Structure 1
Amino acid sequence: MLVLNQPAYVLHSRAYRESSALVDFLTPQGRLRAVLRGARGKAGTLARPFVALDAEFRGRGELKNVSRLEATGIPNLLSGEALFSGLYLNELLIRLLPAEDAQPAIFDHYALTLLALGQGRAIEPLLRSFEWRLLDQLGYGFALDQDLHGQAVVSDGIYRLQTDDGLVPIGQWQPGAFQGAELLAMADANWQTPGALAAAKRLMRQALAPHLGGKPLVSRELFMTLKEPTRD
């Protein structure tokens, strides 16, 4: 029987049989799915998102068993927009990461992003950085300062994204296009440039869409509900 000792985070859990939970974990060895027995007891209190864990998994198949689960640090206590942002990251990872595909760089970046969210840092730059790193590590990245022909992006140029290939220069503005100045600001993570953050959000949505399929992200819909003004 294969035994894996891994640092881990819970991405999602749901009830399974009488007293167990079926849990998706993020580890440096990738996304693992495992049965957590006794989930209604002490073990279940650890099976929460955003808690750094040390876990032991047993089993050779895709569905493993959790034989040990311990918290290794102070939980990242997220609330409000930071909480919904953390749930968004978790949903992205569940939807995009292949099972048991080792991604230590993604694991490390996820841990740092959770820490930054818990510290109250600006949310939008954190999300754009994570989306970009995730796409790049999964092989879907593209240059922001060069078009798909290898020519340098110019600040007064206009470009559109050709999914999985890169940026294409176009002669005139069209819906969904990007200004060269915005793309160059993204390349330098210069979020002080007017319009750069909004353009980065549009760009990441375009880049992620083909890999997410037609099913909407639940966390994004919840976040939009949070942002809607309340009515009397």
Structure 2
Amino acid sequence: MRVTAYVIHTRPFQEGKVMLDLFSFEMGLLRGVYRLPKKGIRVLPSPFVRYDVELKGRSELKTISLIEPLHKPIRIEGIHLYASLYIHELLSRLITSAIPIADLFTLYEWLLQSVEKSVPVAPLLRRFEVGLFQELGMPIDMAYTGSGEDVLASQMYRFDFKLGLRPFLGDKPKQLPVMFVEGRVAIGYMAGEWSNKDVLLMSKELHRKWLDYLLSGKKIEARKLLPNAPYNDDRLYGVPRFSVKKGDV
């Protein structure tokens, strides 16, 4: 089997061998064992390089018989490097092995091209996370209320993962929601308005909680490398509340 892939994780396997997690165009996440060259400089396959890879074997863990770079490594530094490692961890932990996900692969390449140009990190991560949730079959739907009604820009809603958006009428709910969201912020989120600071602030908190839910509360280690200030803005009954701030309209 021959695929086009990026190395998203490397770890020692046996003497002279390493295990590679590969994110491929043709088959999504693949894992294989690669024997390092016996002669010359033993250079590990690098991240941020598109490789031509040949794999052998019928089991889930393949043998990598060939791995050749198709271009020079993309140079990524600082916060953009940490953001890329965060994305690699999400892919390694959430993507099912050997399932084609060409759209997410294309989105990943867009992400690499963007971080190489030092595009602001937060909008890139939120856009990629949205694509990841869609590929997992677990998208966040704020296009309509849980009962199928159109979202009204001026209405405040409470949001739950299972029930979606429900109008908030002012009384304290018996069970507190994940967050309170003004309709225009929810509409902006579904439109992908990542340059809108209200949408971006809400989506950061929303995606953090959604990932915790998908991973059953297990920690994402790469988060430690990224700015990790807790939400410290508007709250209602102790729950984050997101609305368009005065002057943002």
- The TM-score bracket by the shorter chain reads 0.7 to 0.9
Q: TM-score, normalised by structure 2?
A: 0.82
| 2: CA distance, partners of 1:27 / 1:158 | 42
- The superposition leaves residues 78-118 of structure 1 with CA deviations (integer Å, 9 ceiling, x where unpaired) of 11110000001000011111111221111111111111111
Residues 20-39 of structure 1 aligned to structure 2 (within 5 Å): 20-28=17-25, 29-38=27-36
| 2: CA distance, partners of 1:7 / 1:145 | 35
Which residue identity lines up with residue 30 of structure 2 in the other structure? L
Aligned residues: 223
Aligned residue among 67, 75, 78 for 1:77: 75
Partner of 1:216: 219
| 1: CA distance, partners of 2:136 / 2:40 | 35
Partner of 1:197: 200
The structure with the larger Rg is 2
Compute the displacement of 1:19 (Å): 1.0
The Cα RMSD (Å) is 2.2
Partner of 1:116: 114
Partner of 1:9: 6
Compute the displacement of 1:164 (Å): 5.1
> Aligned pair in 2 of structure 1 residues 149, 54: CA closer, same or farther (>3 Å)?
same
Q: TM-score, normalised by structure 1?
A: 0.87
| 2: CA distance, partners of 1:40 / 1:132 | 43
Paired residue secondary structure (2:43): helix
Partner of 2:181: 178
Compute the displacement of 1:165 (Å): 5.3
| 2: CA distance, partners of 1:20 / 1:119 | 34
Partner of 2:125: 127
Q: How many percent of aligned residue pairs carry the same amino acid?
A: 30
- Give the structure with the larger helix fraction: 1
In structure 2, the gaps of 5 or more residues are: 230-249
| 2: CA distance, partners of 1:188 / 1:150 | 18
Paired residue secondary structure (1:45): coil
Paired residue secondary structure (1:177): strand
| 2: CA distance, partners of 1:121 / 1:206 | 25
